[in-house]
Structure 1
Amino acid sequence: MELWFTEFYKGEGMDLQGTGLTVKVKNAVSAKTPFQEILLLDTVDYGKMLVLDGAIQTTEKDEFIYHEMIVHPALFTLGRRPERVLVIGGGDGGTVREILKHDPEKVDMVEIDKEVVEFAKRELPTISCALNDERVNLIFADGREFIRGKEEVYDVIIVDCSDPIGPSKVLYEKGFYEDARRALKEGGIFVTQSESPFAQKRVHGKVVDELKKVFPIVRPYLAFIPTYPSGMWSFTIGSVKADPLAVEKEKLKESYIKFVEEKGELKYYNPDIHYGAFAIPNFVYREE
């Protein structure tokens, strides 16, 4: 008997209500946590696939796109070795893996669901491989509460969260962005995944609008991830001083070449992608 899985695009914030992604599955493992349902699928085309509450989070085949693009545009824009980086969410570990390639002194990762992290360590070792690094401080708590009251602690804050449903909903609000700004050091950079401008246009637009109320520099940018709704995905950078489009091309090229010599070639991000990703199609911010 053939086994298939379909993620139906539905729910709060989803503009597509009659679409989904279907994959052929070889076998499946499931678990229930106090926060959500975990499903690990061994798929024919994408390798192991992590699904939370019916929504695809990552796959072995295309995870590098998401994780490289949520990390490297900001870290290369920073222009210095980061001392301390905060990740909110990111339970599969891929974001931390990419951050460590920039040799930070410390990475705090705040994830509300400990069982997701343990599941990823066990089932997705190529993605979660950096979570046991001595520089990584795993904190199992509410990211919104964790960041409240912190001042000038982090060089970069990365929000690798799920859709704005349940515990993640507060990570899309202006008050959270204000707390994040206060928690950044001078010249620091905030990054969040900001949904699909095609499949979740309203949510994407709200993220960008709310960030503009908090940060003078706001830059949304795109990557194309086959297993995410519509394939068109966005991230948004916010900063007081650091502008990814103001980075000198020669300086970025030199930094990238040195990075590759020391850490190896990346699969998606490069200097051309760095600038090109910030070119946004006309329809995204056009009123309909």
Structure 2
Amino acid sequence: MATWFTEKQTENFGITAKVNRSLHKEQTDFQELEMLETEEWGRMLLLDDMVMTTEKDEFVYHEMMAHVPLFTHPSPKKVLVVGGGDGGVIREVLKHESVEQATLAEIDGKVIEYSKKYLPSIAGALEDKRVDVQVSDGFMHIAKSEREYDVIMVDSTEPVGPAVTLFTKGFYEGIANALKEDGILVAQTDNPWFKADLIRQVYGDVKETFPITRVYTANIPTYPSGLWTFTMGSKIYDPLQVPDERFQEIDTKYYTKELHNACFALPKFVKDVTEGD
């Protein structure tokens, strides 16, 4: 008899995947972690029964989190990723030759450990000499940093458990302080079908903190609704004013130079979330 995993994305809706086997499951100090082998999506990382990443579609999220801000900034040298213990965003960050150091601040060391073991195509870049892996609280890491980073990426889970503080105005203000005078923030901000209020809140908080604030989207089929948003806050550089010569050829499966601008063209109902009805 087949085994299926269902993520209940709302009280009335979920997605289901056929499971071949469970590779590992444990309760860490912060959350329940499980690594599944699925028929459709390959290996799948779950945290508290929520899909974090899969081998088949992981490239979308990781590329869009990393390349949009890194091509917006003219010379990103020092990058911080808060969360993201699977290593996918770090892998994409390292494709930019200007990056001299990429710091990972992941609160749950077990996510790093089992991603390295079961998701080497995603986590392999964590061994790169330019990467500083810190098992630490990203909120506190930000609080202790001042004018240190060119780009900060918040690769968090949904705002539950240890990630709650990563969706507060105080956190974004701390990020602004941790960024250099021309720094850029990008954070994953969930989906507009089920979490419009969250997107509205984050957009408002970031807009009050950064001179330039923009929302962009990507299609990630294993995330709730499939339509995902990212919110960018920038001190100087507008992602819609990137000169052509700044775009360099890198190995991607989703992100392109043309998509860089196109992803900011929001469906009307998503635009209404940030601009009001």
TM-score of the two chains, using structure 1 as the length reference: 0.92
- Are positions 1:277 and 2:272 aligned together? no
Q: Which whole-Å CA distance do the structure 2 matches of 1:226 and 1:146 have between them? A: 32
Mapping for residues 106-255 of structure 1, pairs under 5 Å:
106-248=101-243, 250-252=244-246, 255=247
Aligned-pair identity in percent equals: 46
For residue 41 of structure 1, report the CA deviation from its aligned partner.
1.1
Pick the aligned partner of 1:57 from 52, 60, 65: 52
Q: Which whole-Å CA distance do the structure 2 matches of 1:71 and 1:141 have between them? A: 21
Pick the aligned partner of 2:37 from 42, 50, 55: 42
Query: Per the alignment, in what secondary structure is the counterpart of residue 76 of structure 1?
Result: helix
Q: Which whole-Å CA distance do the structure 2 matches of 1:208 and 1:75 have between them? A: 20
For residue 272 of structure 1, report the CA deviation from its aligned partner.
1.0
Q: Which whole-Å CA distance do the structure 2 matches of 1:251 and 1:197 have between them? A: 33
- Are positions 1:87 and 2:73 aligned together? no
Q: Once the two structures are superposed, what CA deviation does each residue of 1:113-158 show, in whole Å capped at 9, x if it has no partner?
A: 0011001000100000101111111111111111114221001000
Tell me which amino acid in the other structure corresponds to 2:9.
Y
Question: How many pairs were matched up?
Answer: 272
Unpaired runs of at least 5, structure 2:
none
- Are positions 1:20 and 2:14 aligned together? yes
For residue 31 of structure 1, report the CA deviation from its aligned partner.
1.8
Tell me which amino acid in the other structure corresponds to 2:3.
L
What corresponds to 1:6 in structure 2? 6
What corresponds to 1:267 in structure 2? 253
Query: Per the alignment, in what secondary structure is the counterpart of residue 126 of structure 2?
Result: coil
Q: Which whole-Å CA distance do the structure 2 matches of 1:267 and 1:9 have between them? A: 27
What corresponds to 1:69 in structure 2? 64
Query: Per the alignment, in what secondary structure is the counterpart of residue 140 of structure 2?
Result: helix
Tell me which amino acid in the other structure corresponds to 1:279.
A
Query: Per the alignment, in what secondary structure is the counterpart of residue 147 of structure 2?
Result: coil
Pick the aligned partner of 2:100 from 89, 96, 105: 105
Q: Which whole-Å CA distance do the structure 1 matches of 2:9 and 2:142 have between them? A: 31
Tell me which amino acid in the other structure corresponds to 1:268.
Y
Tell me which amino acid in the other structure corresponds to 1:221.
Y
For residue 199 of structure 1, report the CA deviation from its aligned partner.
2.0
Cα RMSD after superposing both structures: 1.2
Q: Which whole-Å CA distance do the structure 2 matches of 1:50 and 1:221 have between them? A: 25
Q: Once the two structures are superposed, what CA deviation does each residue of 1:208-259 show, in whole Å capped at 9, x if it has no partner?
A: 11101100100110000000000000111101101100112x324xx33xx3
Greater Cα offset, 122-131 or 146-155: 146-155
Unpaired runs of at least 5, structure 1:
11-16
